[in-house]
Amino acid sequence: MRQLVPFFVTLAISQLTVAQSRPVDPIIRQLHDPKSKQVLVVAHRGDWRDQPENSVRAIESAIAMGVDVVEIDLKKTKDGVLILMHDETIDRTTSGHGKPADYTWAELQKLTLRNGHGGPTRQRIPTFEDCMNTAKGRVMINIDKGYDYYKDAYDVLVKTGTVDHAIIKSYKTYEEVKAEHGDLLGGKLAYMPIINLSKANAQTSIQSYETNLRPVAYELNFSTDSALVNSNYQTIPQTGSKLWLNSLWASQDAGHDDERSVEEGNPNDGWGWLIDHGATMIQTDRPAELIAYLRNRKLHK
């Protein structure tokens, strides 16, 4: 039986009617609607503050909050099973040691997940298929650190009937993605390029994607305000793509981050700054608080 939200939640959550999860169809429509000014909330590794990151319970808890997208990470076992795991090793997040590829799926199931403080739990590492069955009809999934398994991930999405629930992304140029997975581009599996605006090829990469493929969104990272403002990012919404900005840590958003918004109590210069600069998707480690902020501004339903 699936376990839902933790026994108590933050004040921000208590101010929301979060126990009801929304059907995924309105989220999918909003993602593909260039006219929508609503901001989609992306929960980084699920609700990892209350549940083990990249776990089924972290996904369930994020859904209960009312998020639109849950970001997860993929690795592959020795016998070819896709699992949810961020690191190159299992040391930090499980009771085991070594690389996921050193273990079969059955061997990994003997291990347990750690919570966000490193403490033990009785939860197990989920498969990507578990993830998509949990998400089905309820929430979208962003596949991070999964481009190396693009075709395998697509096969799982087909099997679970959730191709339109997912967004896959990478730092690769359009030319690279076209050469490697061109047969899957432009279909129901949405693709999103990640652009580091400090890189020399950032502007040309955006232009190439705009010319050859209208991605569902662009994820932009920038360490200074000027790196964003002086880029050609303003053309992105004009082509109908969403603008995904991160509020996770300062190196990705020039300090307009969750810490500024929550711990420093200045959300208008954190999340608000990102929105004022065009964000229509925000990835956060504080999903409940971000949802409360957006609903107060009538930017999240």
pLDDT of residue 17: 41
Structural contact between residues 281 and 34, judged by C-beta atoms closer than 8 angstroms: no
Beta strands, E only, the chain: 40-44, 69-76, 82-84, 140-144, 166-170, 190-196, 217-221, 242-246, 281-284
For β-strands 69-76 and 82-84, DSSP reports them as antiparallel
| CATH fourth-level superfamily of 11-296 | Phosphatidylinositol (PI) phosphodiesterase (3.20.20.190)
Please, which pLDDT band fits residue 301 given cuts at 50, 70 and 90? confident
What does 275-286 look like in DSSP terms, one character per residue?
HHTT-SEEEES-
Residues tagged active-site: 44, 86
- Give residues with Cβ within 8 angstroms of 115, minimum separation 6: 51, 52, 121
pLDDT of residue 119: 94
3-state secondary structure of 94: strand
Please, which pLDDT band fits residue 4 given cuts at 50, 70 and 90? very low
Question: For 38-44, what is the mean pLDDT?
Answer: 98
- Give residues with Cβ within 8 angstroms of 271, minimum separation 6: 247, 256, 261, 282, 284, 290, 293, 294
- Locate the domains of the chain by residue range: 11-296
Structural contact between residues 21 and 64, judged by C-beta atoms closer than 8 angstroms: yes
pLDDT of residue 47: 96
Of 4-13, 138-147, 256-265, the one with minimum mean pLDDT is: 4-13
Asked whether residue 10 carries a pLDDT value surpassing 80, the answer given is no
User: Average pLDDT over the chain, rounded to whole?
Assistant: 93
pLDDT, tens digit, for every residue of 183-212?
999 888 999 999 999 999 999 999 999 999
pLDDT, tens digit, for every residue of 215-243?
999 999 999 999 999 999 999 999 999 99
d(CA 59, CA 123): 13
d(CA 58, CA 95): 18
Please, which pLDDT band fits residue 289 given cuts at 50, 70 and 90? very high
Structural contact between residues 20 and 261, judged by C-beta atoms closer than 8 angstroms: no
